[in-house]
Amino acid sequence: MSAGAPGDGLPAATSVLAVCAHPDDESFGLGAVLTRFAVSGARVSMLCFTQGEASTLGLTDRPLGEVRREELAEAAAVLGVARVELLDYPDGGLPKVPLERLARNVATAADEVAADLLVVFDEGGITGHPDHVRATEAALEGAPLTPVLAWSLPREVADALNAEFGAGFVGRGADGVDLRLNVDRGIQRLAIACHASQATDNPVLRRRLELQGDAETLRWLRPPPATPSGDTAEARRRDVAAQWDPRYGAGGRVFTTEPSEALVELVSGLVPGRAVDLGAGEGRNSLWLARRGWRVVAVDASRVALDRLEAAAADEGLAVETVVADLTGYLDAEGLAGRRFDLALLAYVHPAPDERDALLETAARALAPGGHLLVVGHHRSALGRSGPPDPARLYTTDDLRRVVGVEVISLGERTGANDARDESTDVVLWARRPGEPTSAPAP
């Protein structure tokens, strides 16, 4: 997925989660956009915070919340929405609900559907409705590592509606638009018609759709991370492999067979689950994890290193999955898209400073709710004794203090045996992704 200039079209996504305040927001507002995603092959899901029971447009004698729940299910089916989660927060009262509570709902829903994109109303709520604004805030807070795409109104459309109807629409100028989509309103109009209790022929909605025509405008509230293209990632992987393949192929081990001391100390008490070892090399840490029942994916740029790991695993009768990939782009590797791990390990991987944040964010994005992140690297004081000769590639605690999407459990310096079993000082980050585990541990 990549952000683009206006006119670039629909972003690529495999699992889209729409976060809305009310039943009908998915149709009156996001309908044409969600249909485009569904038609493209993405799995579209919806999280709706309220049942819309406070609407003053209700044209029914039945409990309005009950009616609107049924209408939402019908409209979602028309739009191609595969999954709907309807919560029961008070309609009109979302701003009074603690943001962290709403954010937890978003985090859980996003993880359950492995969302790689959230779709929301623009930050002004489009109509200025406080519930709309709060739903978008919750989406941004609840999934800090997931791109967020907002449906917006062109400023000229908002201005025209406000002048004609005395409404409070909030629009965006051309400089605030990232994408323009050509849309077919036919399916959206069918979905709108499902919300019969909401006076679907209301003149404001009719006029808005008329002014918008066959185009929707979107803006990134959180754009996708700037990841290298497939060609660039593969070129970078080959550069790294060219440095390491001769070392791994020269005979004898490059590093010790003993696992990282920090790994043993911090992970021994965890229930085994799914682990990804980034920069696994010959596999000392992957093998240790596999012996303890972890289901391990070992990722490295060097095929030679992973061949050694596979041979060692076979000798012990262990199952370790290996992936040859650039570490920053490994989540796009075949078979890994959408997979989440209970442990992500970066042991003695020292990227250039301009690549470090992207690598750490990639590691954090791979975590399931409740999953742990362990980063171990040579401290800058080890220059000349351990690690790369470039001091900028060595760590300080400040380099690891602000990893997005995880809560730091501990961060500090540790003196002990390093990856070559020499005495040196390392920096160790032990962090956890918020949330409760959603899958059973490995047997």
Integer Rg of the chain from CA: 25
Do 341 and 265 have their domain in common? yes
The CATH number assigned to the domain holding 83 equals 3.40.50.10320
Q: Is there a domain that residue 1 lies in?
A: no
Q: Is there a domain that residue 287 lies in?
A: yes
Q: Is there a domain that residue 443 lies in?
A: no
The CATH number assigned to the domain holding 399 equals 3.40.50.150
Do 120 and 175 have their domain in common? yes
Those residues with Cβ within 8 angstroms of residue 49's Cβ, 6 or more apart along the chain or in another chain: 20, 21, 22, 87, 89, 94, 102, 105, 131, 134, 135, 138
Q: What is the pLDDT of residues 325-339, one digit of tens each?
A: 888 777 766 666 678
The residue segments making up the domain with residue 147 are 15-222
Do 213 and 239 have their domain in common? no
Do 172 and 248 have their domain in common? no
Q: What is the pLDDT of residues 421-441, one digit of tens each?
A: 566 789 999 999 987 775 444
pLDDT for residue 216 is more than 80: yes
Do 199 and 234 have their domain in common? no
Question: Domain end: 182, 203, 222, which one?
Answer: 222
Q: Is there a domain that residue 273 lies in?
A: yes
Nearest to 394 by CA among 339, 337, 356: 356
Check residue 441 and give its pLDDT.
42
Do 29 and 170 have their domain in common? yes
Do 259 and 243 have their domain in common? yes
- Average pLDDT of 108-126? 94
Q: Record the pTM.
A: 0.72
Number of domains in the chain: 2
Check residue 313 and give its pLDDT.
97
Mean pLDDT lowest among 211-220, 360-369, 371-380:
360-369
Q: Is there a domain that residue 441 lies in?
A: no
Do 216 and 255 have their domain in common? no
Check residue 187 and give its pLDDT.
96
Check residue 440 and give its pLDDT.
43
Do 387 and 293 have their domain in common? yes
pLDDT for residue 153 is more than 70: yes
Q: What is the pLDDT of residues 236-270, one digit of tens each?
A: 788 887 888 888 888 778 788 899 999 999 999 99
- Cα separation, 443 vs 423, in Å, equals 36
- Average pLDDT of 397-418? 86
Q: What is the pLDDT of residues 281-319, one digit of tens each?
A: 999 999 999 999 999 999 999 999 999 999 999 999 999
Do 191 and 269 have their domain in common? no
Do 271 and 186 have their domain in common? no
Do 271 and 173 have their domain in common? no
Q: Is there a domain that residue 7 lies in?
A: no
